């Protein structure tokens, strides 16, 4: 059984305005799973629904076999699912250290130890621990947002377009960090506009089009598919 398993997920503002129209999706232990597709395909909606920010209309979302669909974000977070929004994913006037503390708000036990662990894992944050986080660069903000999510020691990390707006160098650095987090034992579901990079680091990937599953499979296979290369990778 998958760690995170979504089946037939329908999410929308009304019956006539469905964003997800029956999506299947899963993440196994130790995987990086990419989600790519054109704008408006429902990629971010999928992650927000898993995180509890949007209520599913139909379908199921299971974490370790237990239904999490429609639960409050804090309950879903307690069950080991941490979500990193694409934007506005830090507390701008608070210091880097305080942001990490708030990242682990629901599980304050051992907070100091977990913050030190975060500083060891991401030395760039350690150097800037007392700085108000609004002063961080775009790449540093994304790393902080990810480090905040890791404070609850999740089993699955949901990353919503982490490289959006970053320079190529900052994006590359961020992807290296994502791979390192995954190697440390955290499964990752990642929505990305940067399909080429996403397929490079992911083990498997899903392609969503118009709120439905279009293709899925091993990332290397999808990256080698001529149609996908032409449509999504610009090759």
Partner 1 sequence: MPPLLAEVAQLVVNGMMAGAILAVPAIGLTAIYAVLRFPNFALASHATIGAFAGYIANAKLGLPILPSVMVAFLAAGAVGVVTDEAVLKQFRPAGFITTAIASIALTIALENIVRFGFGNELRGYALPIERDWRFGSIRVGPQQVQNLAIAAVAMAALFCFLTFTRTGKAMRAVADNPMLASIKGINADMISRLVNFVGMGLAGLGGMLIGLDTTIDPLTGFRSILSVFAAAVVGGLGSIPGAVIGALTVGIGEELCLLFLSPDYRSAVGFVAILLVLTLRPRGILGQRADA
Interface residues with partner 1 (CB under 8 A)? 51, 53, 73-74, 77-78, 83, 85, 88-94, 98, 101-103, 105-106, 108, 133-134, 141, 148
Q: Are strands 66-67 and 58-63 parallel, antiparallel or unpaired?
A: antiparallel
Q: Which is nearer to partner 1, 32 or 144 (CB)?
A: 144
Q: Which is nearer to partner 1, 59 or 91 (CB)?
A: 91
> Nearest 5°: CA angle at 169, between 195 and 232?
15
| Closest listed residue to residue 78, CA positions, set 118, 53, 107 | 107
Q: List Cα–Cα distances, 113 to 107, 158, 229, in angstroms.
A: 12, 23, 44
At its nearest, how many Å lie between partner 1 and the CB of residue 112? Answer: 12
At its nearest, how many Å lie between partner 1 and the CB of residue 155? Answer: 16
CA distance 204 to 221: 9
At its nearest, how many Å lie between partner 1 and the CB of residue 43? Answer: 18
Q: Which is nearer to partner 1, 77 or 163 (CB)?
A: 77
Half-sphere exposure of 155 (CA within 13 A, CB side): 12
Q: Which is nearer to partner 1, 37 or 69 (CB)?
A: 69
Is-contact 222 207, C-beta < 8 A? yes
At its nearest, how many Å lie between partner 1 and the CB of residue 41? Answer: 22
Is-contact 115 97, C-beta < 8 A? yes
Q: Which is nearer to partner 1, 160 or 192 (CB)?
A: 160
At its nearest, how many Å lie between partner 1 and the CB of residue 214? Answer: 28
Q: Would you call 137 helix, strand, or coil by DSSP? A: coil
Q: Are strands 156-160 and 187-191 parallel, antiparallel or unpaired?
A: parallel
At its nearest, how many Å lie between partner 1 and the CB of residue 76? Answer: 9
> Nearest 5°: CA angle at 23, between 160 and 74?
50
Q: Which is nearer to partner 1, 30 or 108 (CB)?
A: 108
Q: Which is nearer to partner 1, 34 or 52 (CB)?
A: 52
Could you say which DSSP state residue 135 is in?
G
CA distance 95 to 179: 26
At its nearest, how many Å lie between partner 1 and the CB of residue 186? Answer: 17
Could you say which DSSP state residue 109 is in?
T
């Amino acid at each position: 059984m998958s760690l995170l398993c979504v089946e037939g997920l329908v999410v929308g503002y009304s019956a006539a305005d469905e964003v997800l129209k029956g999506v299947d999706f899963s993440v196994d232990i130790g995987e990086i799973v990419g989600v790519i597709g054109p704008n408006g395909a429902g990629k971010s909606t999928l992650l927000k629904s898993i995180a509890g920010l949007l209520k599913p209309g139909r379908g199921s979302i299971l974490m370790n076999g237990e239904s999490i669909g429609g639960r409050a974000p804090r309950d879903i977070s307690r069950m080991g699912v941490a979500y990193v929004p694409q934007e506005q994913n830090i507390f701008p006037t608070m210091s880097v250290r305080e942001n990490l503390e708030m990242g682990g708000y629901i599980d304050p036990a051992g907070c100091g130890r977990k913050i030190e662990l975060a500083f060891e894992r991401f030395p760039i944050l350690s150097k800037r621990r007392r700085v108000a986080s609004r002063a961080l660069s775009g790449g540093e903000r994304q790393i902080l947002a990810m480090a905040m999510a890791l404070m609850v020691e999740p089993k699955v990390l949901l990353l919503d377009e982490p490289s959006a707006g970053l320079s190529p160098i900052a994006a590359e650095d961020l992807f290296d960090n994502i791979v390192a987090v995954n190697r440390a034992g955290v499964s990752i579901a990642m929505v990305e506009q940067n399909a080429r990079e996403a397929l490079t680091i992911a083990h498997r990937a899903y392609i969503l089009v118009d709120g439905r599953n279009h293709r899925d499979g091993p990332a290397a296979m999808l990256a080698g598919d001529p149609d996908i290369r032409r449509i999504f990778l610009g090759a």
